[in-house]
Amino acid sequence: MFSTEKTKSNSSTMATTSDKPPGAGWLDAGEAAVAGAGMVLFALFAHSLSVPFAFSAAGLTLTAAALVQAVVRSRSPLALFGLAPVTRKTALYVALGAALGLALGVWYRRHIGAPALPEAFRGFALVAALIGSAEEILYRGYVQGRFRRLGPVGATLCAAILHTAYKTALFALPGEAMAINFPFIIAATLVGGLAFGLLRELSGGSTSLTAGNVLAPLAAHAAFDLIVYAELTKAPWWVWT
């Protein structure tokens, strides 16, 4: 019985991977790299007062074009963004992700000298959680999935690096002079991205269609942002100005 199920699983996996033409895996990776580069371009000039916003808009256009191309080529748009079927294992890792996000949020608040827990939740907290969720769908969902040709470790690392590049670019050209701790931003985003990427890889099944679920890192990022931005009534400058 076990050998039969294993054979069926292997056959299903082989059928899924063989459906793609040769070189499709590298095309997927290149497509994701273009999307990531577009986000870096957008973030780099989003707050600059000396560079026309058209440069930033061009970055968003580049990312949008890559995503549209991916959706057109994909047989399953949900799977494209890491939204696999929810199982008991997925639910367990979603709960684990939420707990991890809360713990990281408390640590960060202590790091910046704020109380460990927020005194209230203001209007921007939900917006921050939605922005964080969108980042996870893009980086841990779409980008990490498109780099799967490199294996779980390579895909996780590529997604974390592209997310870190985006986050660093977001702070690179502020509207006014200010001190920014770039080593901390780079290290925290990279380590967090690797942890969130690991959550995706561990939360799915064994076939290529269920190779991780983005809901687990999404829960982690949303919980982190809810705690960190809880008391804010409006967006900080690096979100929009």
- The pTM for the full model equals 0.86
Helix (H, G, I), strand (E, B) or coil at 199: helix
Tell me the two tokens of residue 38: 């577009």
Domain boundaries, the chain: 2-228
Please give the DSSP secondary-structure letter assigned to residue 230. T
Reading the chain (241 residues) residue by residue, the pLDDT tens digits are 444 444 444 444 433 444 455 456 889 999 999 999 999 999 999 887 777 788 999 999 999 999 999 999 998 999 999 998 889 999 999 999 999 999 999 999 999 999 999 999 998 999 999 999 999 999 999 999 999 889 999 999 999 999 999 999 999 988 777 889 999 999 999 999 999 999 999 987 554 444 689 999 999 999 999 999 999 988 887 786 5
Main-chain phi, psi angles of 39, to 5 degrees: -65, -35
Q: Which of 91, 199, 77, 183 is nearest to 136 (CA)?
A: 199
Which pLDDT score is estimated for 3? 43
Amino acid at 113: G
Closest CA to 63 of 213, 166, 140, 169: 166
